[in-house]
Chains A and B, each alone.
Chain A
Amino acid sequence: MNFNFSEEQRMLKDSVTRFVQDQYDFETRRKVVDSEDGFSRKNWQTFAELGWLSIPFSEEQGGFGGGAVDTMLLMEELGKGLVAEPFVATVLLFGGLLSSGASPALQDAHIDKIIDGSLQGAFAYLERQSRFDLADVKTSAVQNGADFVLNGEKTVVFNGGVADKIIVSARTSGEQYDEQGISLFLLDASAAGIEKTTYRLMDGQRVANIKLTDVSICADQLVGTLDQGYGLIKSVTNEAMLAISAEALGIMQKLNATTIEYSKTREQFGVPISSFQALQHRMVDTFMACEQTKSLLYRAVCSTDAGNEDAEKDILALKIMVGRAGKLIGGEAIQIHGGMGITDELDVGHYFKRLMMINTTFGDADYQQQKFIALSNA
C-alpha cells in the first residue's frame, strides 16, 4: 500500500500548478468567465498542447491511457485556480461516453478532435422534472426506418451553448422512470429541430436548455446499445463525480490556506484574529474536514482504479462528504473573512459558489445519502 505518485504523475501535477499560477490569476479568470463562451479557446489549445485533453483516453484511441489518479491530480490543481474551461463536459462526459460506448467509426471520427482541442462536446442528461434521477427520461426517440426521431427538452446541459456535438439521453422503450429503455444519441448541435437557450450558473459555467422538435438522427449515431444507455450514464457520471470531487478538494485547500493567511494579517483588538481560540478551533475543523475529504477521495480513486466491487459505495461516500465539507469550509472561509468575505471583489465567495454547484452536480449530499443507505443495507 502506498499513496505516492509516479514521476509522470508528479510532472503532470506540476504542469497544471504552473499553468494556474502563471496564466490564471483571479482577475484573468473573471475576464474568462465573462467572455461570450465562458472560457478561453486559447487556454483550451494550451490544454491540448500540454496533453491534458488526452488523459483519460486509451493509447489505442490516441490518448495518454491515464486512470482515475491522473484525472484527480489534474482536477485538484484546476480547482485551486477555479478554472472554468469545460474539461468535465467535453472530455469526461462527452468523451467518456464515446470512448466507453461508441462504435469504432464514431470513436475514430471524434476522439482525435477532442484530444487536439478542435471539438467541444456536451452530454444532455437532465430534464426539468428529473432533479437528480438519471433514469427519469421523458424525451422520446422513435424509430422511423433507418432514423430515430427525437422530441423533448433537456435542461442544464453543461457546455451546451458552445458544444459542436451533443450526446442526448432519450427514451426508446419503457416508462418514464425505468432504467431500461434509455438510449444515447450523438447529435450535431446545428441539426434541424434543435433550439437552445443558454444561461449562466453562479459558478460562471455556461449551460443550456436544449429543445428537440422532430430531430431526425441516423441509427448509426447511437452511442452504446439500444435501450441500454443507463449503464453507460452511470459509469461516466461516476468518473465525473470523482473528478469534480478532486476539483472540490483543490478548492477546499485553497480556501483554507487563504483563510489562515488572512487571519494572521487581520488585526482586531490590537492582535491578529488568528490568536483567538474560537477562530483557531474553527480553522482546525475545516482542516480536518479537508483531510477527511482527501482520504475519501484517495479511497474512491484507489478502489475505482483497482476495480473493487465497493467502488460505487466509496464514490457515494466521497460525494456526500464533498457536499457537506464544502459547505462547512466555504461558510467558515466567508465568516472568518468577515465583511470582506461577502464582497464580489474577493475570490472567496466565488470559490464558495463553485463548491455549492459541485454539491448539486450529479446529485447532492442528501440525495446520494439515500443511495448510500440502500447499498449499506443491501
Chain B
Amino acid sequence: MDIKFSPEDIAFRDEVRAFLKEAYSSELAARLDNPKTFKEAQCEWQKHLNAKGWAAPNWPAEHGGAGWSVNQSFIYETERSIAGAPDVVPFGLKMVSPVIYGYGSEEQKQRFLPKILNSEDWWCQGYSEPGSGSDLASLKTQAKLEGDQYRVNGAKIWTTYAQYADWIFCLVRTDSSGRPQGGITFLLIDMKTPGITVNPIDSIDGRHSLNEVLFEDVMVPVTNRIGDQDKGWTYAKALLVHERTAIAGVPDSKRCLGELRELAKRESSGGVSLIDDPMIQTRFANIEIELMALEYTELRVLAAFSEGKGPGVESSLLKIKGTEIQQAIQQLRMDLAGYYSGLEQGELTAEQVGHDFGDMARRTYMYGRASTIYGGSNEVQKNITAKVVLGL
C-alpha cells in the first residue's frame, strides 16, 4: 500500500495548476453561470482542455486519451475543483464514448469520436421515458427496421441539455417478445432529423436543463446502430457503471465544504460565528468524515480499475454515498443562508437585496434533489448491490 506522489506527479500537479490559472478565467466562469452563454462557454472550456490533450484523459491512447495514472486523475480532479473549474459535460466525453470505442464499428469511431473530443458535437442521453424510470428495461420507444433504416416512435424524458444537443444516444425497443432486457437496441440519432420535438421542462431550481424529447416517424440509418440489434442493454449497462462513478463528485464536494466553512465563519448569530455553533460543527464534521472515507473508496475503485478490475458494482456505493453527501452539503448551505435561501425566483435576487449566496443555496439545493433520483435512484442502487454484491 502506498499513496506517495512521485516527483513526476508533483511536476504534473504544477502543470495542472499552471494550465488552470491560464485557461480558466473569472470572465469564463461568469459566462458559464449564465444560462444564455452557458453552452458556448462550456464548449470553449472543453476545447481548451482538448488543446492540452486533457478532454478525455481516460480514453484509450489510440483515440486521443492521455493515459493518466490513478495519481494523475486524482491530482487533476483535485486541482480542477480547487480552482472551481467545471467538469466536462459527461454525455459525450464520458458516457457515449466508451460505448462507441468499446462496441462501435471502425466507421463509427472515426465519425463520432474526434468531434466529441473537440466538443464540436453536443450529446444528450435518451434513456428514461415517461413510463420507464427506475425500471429502465420496460422502455417502449419503438424502432422498426425498414430496409436500411429504423423508424423510431416514442418519447424520452428528463433529457438534460437536449435543447443544446446535436446528437442523442437512445435505447429503443426492437423486440417485445422475450424478457424486457432482450429486445433493446442502442441507436445514435441526429437531433436535426425530421420528426424530433424537444419540449422544455422547468425544474424547481428555476432553470431549464431538462426536456422531453418526442420521436414521430424519425428515420435513423442502420449504420447509426451500436453493435447488434437487440443487444443494446449490454452496452447500456457498461455505460451506467461509468455514469455512477462520475456522479460521486468527491472533489467538488470537498471544495463546496471548504467554501461553506468560510461562510460559516463569516455569518453569525447573536454575535457568535456560526462555525462556533456546536450543532453546525457537528454537521460539518459528519459530512467531512463521510467525504474523507468516500475519497478513499473512490481511490480504491480507481486503483482496481487501473489494474483492469473494474469499475464494478462498487460504483453503486459511490453513487449512493456521493449523492447523500452532496445533499447534506446543499442542506447545510440552505440553512447557513437562512431567510435569503428562500427568495422567489424571477423576482429580486438575494444578491440584489444584500445577500451573496442565498440564490445559489436555493438553486443547488432544489436541483440537488435530482441526484438521488437520476442515474438509477439510490433505492435501485441498493437493490443492485443487494443482488450483485451481497448475493441476496
Chain A residues near B (Cβ < 8 Å): 1-5, 69, 260, 263-264, 274-275, 277, 280-281, 283-285, 287-288, 291-293, 295-296, 298-299, 301-303, 305-306, 314, 317, 320-321, 369, 372-373, 376-377
Contacts and interface: CB of A to CB of B under 8 A. Distances in A.
Interface in B283-309: 284-285, 288-290, 292-297, 299-300, 303
A-side binding surface: helix, strand, loop or mixed? helix
A372 B285 contact: yes
B2 interface: yes
Contacts of A293: 293
Contacts of A296: 289, 292-293, 296
Contact of A274 (B74, B284, B389, B392): B392
Contacts of B1: 2-5, 69, 298, 301-302, 305
B309 to A, nearest CB: 11
B392 A295 contact: no
B385 interface: yes
A283 B390 CA distance: 8
Interface stretch (B161-169, B313-321, B349-357): B313-321
A114 to B, nearest CB: 26
A1 B386 contact: no
B383 A376 contact: no
14 contacts: A1-B74, A3-B300, A264-B391, A280-B382, A280-B386, A281-B386, A285-B382, A287-B385, A287-B390, A296-B289, A296-B293, A369-B285, A372-B289, A373-B282
B93 to A, nearest CB: 24
B4 interface: yes
B285 A373 contact: yes
Contact of B3 (A5, A287, A303): A303
B290 A292 contact: yes
A284 B390 contact: yes
B275 interface: yes
A258 B70 CA distance: 34
Nearest to B384: A284
B275 A321 contact: no
Contacts of A263: 392
Contacts of A3: 1, 299-300, 303
Contacts of B383: 277, 280
9 tightest CB-CB pairs across the interface, nearest first? A295-B296, A280-B386, A292-B293, A302-B3, A295-B297, A284-B382, A274-B392, A299-B296, A295-B293
A364 to B, nearest CB: 14
A296 B290 CA distance: 9
Q: Which residue among A1, A69, A281, A291 has the maximum number of chain B CB atoms within 10 Å of its CB?
A: A1
Given A1-B3, A292-B294, 11 more contacts: A3-B303, A264-B391, A275-B392, A283-B392, A287-B385, A287-B389, A291-B317, A295-B293, A296-B289, A302-B3, A372-B288
Contacts of A372: 285, 288-289
Interface in B328-365: none
B377 interface: no
Nearest to B276: A377
Contacts of A288: 317, 320-321, 385
Given A2-B303, A299-B293, A369-B285, A284 B386 contact: yes
B245 to A, nearest CB: 15
Contacts of A317: 288-289, 292-293
Interface in B256-274: 261
Interface string B369-392: 000000000010011011001111
A176 to B, nearest CB: 25
A84 B149 CA distance: 71
Contacts of A303: 3
Nearest to B297: A295
Nearest to B292: A317
Contacts of B261: 376-377
B284 A1 contact: no
A293 B290 CA distance: 9
A299 B382 CA distance: 25
Nearest to A275: B392
A295 B304 CA distance: 14
Report which residue of B1, B275, B284, B314 has the largest number of chain A beta carbons within 10 angstroms of its beta carbon: B1
A14 to B, nearest CB: 17
B316 to A, nearest CB: 9
A372 B379 CA distance: 32
A377 B293 contact: no
A369 B282 contact: yes
Contacts of A305: 1
B297 A292 contact: yes
A202 to B, nearest CB: 27
Contacts of B285: 320, 369, 372-373, 376
Contacts of B294: 292, 295
Contacts of B303: 1-3
B321 A377 contact: no
Nearest to B265: A377
A369 to B, nearest CB: 5
Contacts of B321: 288, 292
B281 interface: yes
A298 B300 CA distance: 9
A5 B292 CA distance: 22
Contacts of A376: 261, 284-285, 288
A119 to B, nearest CB: 31
Contacts of A295: 293-297, 299-300
Contacts of B284: 373, 376
A2 to B, nearest CB: 6
Contacts of B299: 1, 3, 295
B300 A299 contact: no
A298 B298 CA distance: 12
A230 B352 CA distance: 54
A254 to B, nearest CB: 15
B224 interface: no
Contacts of A264: 391-392
Given A1-B303, A280-B382, A377 B281 contact: yes
Nearest to B386: A280
A306 to B, nearest CB: 6
A291 B295 CA distance: 12
> Max chain B CB contacts within 10 Å: which of A284, A306, A314?
A284
A234 to B, nearest CB: 20
B266 to A, nearest CB: 14
B81 interface: no
B254 to A, nearest CB: 13
Contacts of B386: 277, 280-281, 283-284
